[in-house]
Amino acid sequence: MVSDKTFYVFCLPCCKIVVSTGALDHLRTDAEIATLLGREDAHVIIARHGAEIATKELWLDIHAPCRCYGRELLNPSKLLQLPKFFKRMERETNEIGLLLMAYAGYDKSVAPRVYEKLAGINRFTLWDY
């Protein structure tokens, strides 16, 4: 736990989950907290999104020199697909997170309220809850 009024919850690649006190100020019940913890577990442990992101970034890095030399081998429209890629990851994480919280015995009907809170607190562009 980090003492910070900013709202954030995230999972490090080493599978440690970081929760700010600002997040706990907005989450009132165990089920609300479980919604976010389930999502973070899903990102790293089950869906391995860190590895997916690293693969995408590696692909872009490999092709970047081609762009620099004017060959334009990297199609710029591919860059426009990244937001779609991140949205897919977030949807997948939400689904897996719901399963995890249900298996743990929490009420999964709480999740939509948590996502609405997130949308109100954070102004996400790529991370569409």
- Asked whether the beta carbons of 9 and 18 are under 8 A apart, the reply is yes
Strands 9-11 and 17-19: antiparallel
Question: According to the model, what pLDDT value does residue 85 have?
Answer: 64
Question: According to the model, what pLDDT value does residue 7 have?
Answer: 85
Euclidean distance between CA atoms 94 and 40, whole angstroms:
9
pLDDT < 70 regions, the chain: 46-85, 122-129
Q: Taking the domains of the chain in order of start, what are their residue ranges?
A: 9-47+85-121
Q: Which two tokens stand for residue 24?
A: 């706990």
Question: According to the model, what pLDDT value does residue 53 have?
Answer: 62
- Is the full-model pTM beyond 0.85? no
Question: According to the model, what pLDDT value does residue 73 have?
Answer: 46
Euclidean distance between CA atoms 122 and 83, whole angstroms:
17
Question: According to the model, what pLDDT value does residue 103 have?
Answer: 92
40: annotated active-site residue: yes
3: left (phi over 0), alpha (psi -120 to 50) or beta: beta
Catalytic residue among 32, 40, 72, 95: 40
CA 115 to chain centre: 12
Phi (first) and psi of residue 5, to 5 degrees = -75, -10
Other Cβ atoms within 10 Å of 31 Cβ, number: 19
